[in-house]
Amino acid sequence: MDRGEIGFGRTVLRTSILFHWVTDAIQALPPAVSPILKRTFGLSYFQLGGLFGSFLITMVCFQVIAGWLADRADESDLMAFGTFLVFCSCILFAISSSFYHLIISNVIYGIGASYYHPSAYTVLSRATKDTIRRTKTMGFSGSSGDVGNFIAFLSTGALALRFGWKVPFLLWGILSLLMLLIYLFFLRKRLHALKTQLVPQKMALPQKEGQSRKRQVMFFLIAYFVLGGAYRTFVNFSPLYLTKNANLTADYAGIIFSGFVLAGATGSAVSGFITEKFGIRKTQVGQYLLVAALFLCLTHSSVQKRPPLLFVIYVLSGFMLYAIYPTIYSIASRFSKSTERGQFYGQIMALSFFGGFVVSFLDGKLADLYGITIVYFVGVIVCIIGAISASQLDEERS
């Protein structure tokens, strides 16, 4: 790899990190203030599931469009445009006065956030040829978003209780605008100059074809679909679970759940190193099964009344769950040509968000009928399905 490629890869990673931490941080805001929204607007669990689902179904639709654009336009400029829409959505959240305003704001946020993941992981995969290095790079990029998530979950409850639930949206909107300006004035010109110096990679599809390859793709898609469901079960319903079952206030619930997110950032960052030691398949199967066991722990009534133990369980869950994502993104590159990478990433990310959408609605409906704890039983099932699917994937070679 020559110096131009190294410089391009580093600048791509910096740009990805710049946008990722604010984009993912704002995903945390509606769940973090959901106990306050439930009380303020008189919402049911099913309506909250609908609020979360409005974001997810928007992501399902627009991820595919963003992926298609990532193969035809500059990926970093697409990330910047998405960040501008994220800024707009934060302002709209802050002036919302009804449940329907919240839905509209969440949809606009979903459109903006859709531009990040297909664009970022497309350009990262094109800039990194080696399997393990690609997994590590995607882990570093992913962990930046997790750090933003951690900061948001840690701070939002306290800010909302002291200054009102709209203030966190205003603050993160301002930060989004600041990241956009940093890109436009300091990174964009250098990134474009480096990109024009490089020869596009000519990466072909793997040789394995026919029924065997179709089977691999099928199990890969199932594993990614249920991963989205497991992730959204934690993110969307844990603050509600902690305030209702553990009798915590929104700020203390945010502190405990922020441990989940911070551990997730660590898991994402070290995922490539774990994969290097154990291999992608063994790593994924083990992580899915451990998350399933931790989901099961959260259903036990004695655990629900012990905040220190809850904190430990959430930390372990976050580390294991988030560490799966970089391996999934790395595996995805073996099923697509470099020139069509954006479309494929857009499609599979849409599938993951659809998994989150389906499970969020299921969780909300079951929670209305049987109580909030039921969502973690759903988590056990989807993680077991993920482990079975991951066990059928071939080991990836460098």
| CATH number for the domain formed by residue range(s) 3-390 | 1.20.1250.20
- Residue in 148, 26, 163 with CA at minimum distance from that of residue 87: 26
Q: What is the pLDDT of residue 67?
A: 92
Q: What is the pLDDT of residue 205?
A: 43
Pick the residue with more confidence: 339 or 73? 73
**pLDDT tops 90 at residue 311:** yes
Q: What is the pLDDT of residue 174?
A: 97
Give the tens place of pLDDT for each residue, 134-176. 778 888 888 998 888 888 888 888 899 899 999 999 999 999 9
Domain boundaries, the chain: 3-390
Average pLDDT, the chain: 87
Q: Give dist(CA 238, CA 297) in Å, integer.
A: 14
Q: Give dist(CA 230, CA 328) in Å, integer.
A: 14
> If you average pLDDT over residues 190-213, what whole number do you get?
60
* Whether the Cβ atoms of residue 168 and residue 160 lie closer than 8 Å to each other: yes
Q: What is the pLDDT of residue 396?
A: 59
> If you average pLDDT over residues 127-138, what whole number do you get?
77
Give the tens place of pLDDT for each residue, 14-57. 899 999 999 999 988 998 898 889 889 999 888 888 898 898 88
**What whole-number percentage of the chain has pLDDT above 90?**
45
Q: What is the pLDDT of residue 199?
A: 45
Pick the residue with more confidence: 174 or 275? 174
Q: Give dist(CA 352, CA 226) in Å, integer.
A: 7
* Whether the Cβ atoms of residue 76 and residue 183 lie closer than 8 Å to each other: yes
Least-confidence region, from 23-27, 131-135, 264-268, 285-289: 131-135
Q: Give dist(CA 110, CA 62) in Å, integer.
A: 8
> If you average pLDDT over residues 193-200, what whole number do you get?
62
Name residue, tokens 């909107």: 173
Q: What is the pLDDT of residue 46?
A: 85
CA 180 distance to own-chain centroid = 20
Q: What is the pLDDT of residue 203?
A: 41
Q: Which pTM was predicted?
A: 0.79
* Whether the Cβ atoms of residue 344 and residue 224 lie closer than 8 Å to each other: no
Give 198's pLDDT tier (boundaries 50, 70, 90).
Answer: low
**pLDDT tops 50 at residue 398:** no
Q: What is the pLDDT of residue 197?
A: 60
Question: 290 is written with which tokens?
Answer: 């451990």
Q: What is the largest distance, in Å, between two alpha-carbon atoms of the chain?
A: 61
**pLDDT tops 90 at residue 181:** yes
**pLDDT tops 80 at residue 376:** yes
Q: What is the pLDDT of residue 172?
A: 96
Give 207's pLDDT tier (boundaries 50, 70, 90).
Answer: very low
Give 206's pLDDT tier (boundaries 50, 70, 90).
Answer: very low
* Whether the Cβ atoms of residue 135 and residue 330 lie closer than 8 Å to each other: yes
Q: What is the pLDDT of residue 5?
A: 60
Give 122's pLDDT tier (boundaries 50, 70, 90).
Answer: confident
Question: 247 is written with which tokens?
Answer: 């009798």
* Whether the Cβ atoms of residue 83 and residue 112 lie closer than 8 Å to each other: yes
Give the tens place of pLDDT for each residue, 291-305. 999 999 999 988 888
> If you average pLDDT over residues 209-224, what whole number do you get?
84
Question: 168 is written with which tokens?
Answer: 């966190």
Give the tens place of pLDDT for each residue, 219-258. 999 999 999 999 989 988 888 899 888 888 877 888 888 8
Pick the residue with more confidence: 4 or 21? 21
Half-sphere exposure of 355 (CA within 13 A, CB side): 25
* Whether the Cβ atoms of residue 292 and residue 380 lie closer than 8 Å to each other: yes
> If you average pLDDT over residues 176-197, what whole number do you get?
86
Q: What is the pLDDT of residue 146?
A: 84
SS (H, E, C) the chain: CCHHHHHHHHHHHHHHHHHHHHHHHHHCHHHHCHHHHHHHHCCCHHHHHHHHHHHHHHHHHHHHHHHHHHCCCCHHHHHHHHHHHHHHHHHHHHCCCCHHHHHHHHHHHHHHHHCHHHHHHHHHHHHCCCHHHHHHHHHHHHHHHHHHHHHHHHHHHHHHHHHCCCHHHHHHHHHHHHHHHHHHHHHHHHHHHHHHHCCCCCCCCCCCCHHHHHHHHHHHHHHHHHHHHHHHHHHHHHHHHHHHCCCCCHHHHHHHHHHHHHHHHHHHHHHHHHHHHHCHHHHHHHHHHHHHHHHHHCCCHHHHCCHHHHHHHHHHHHHHHHHHHHHHHHHHHHHCCHHHHHHHHHHHHHHHHHHHHHHHHHHHHHHHHHCCCHHHHHHHHHHHHHHHHHCCCCCCCC
> If you average pLDDT over residues 52-65, what whole number do you get?
88
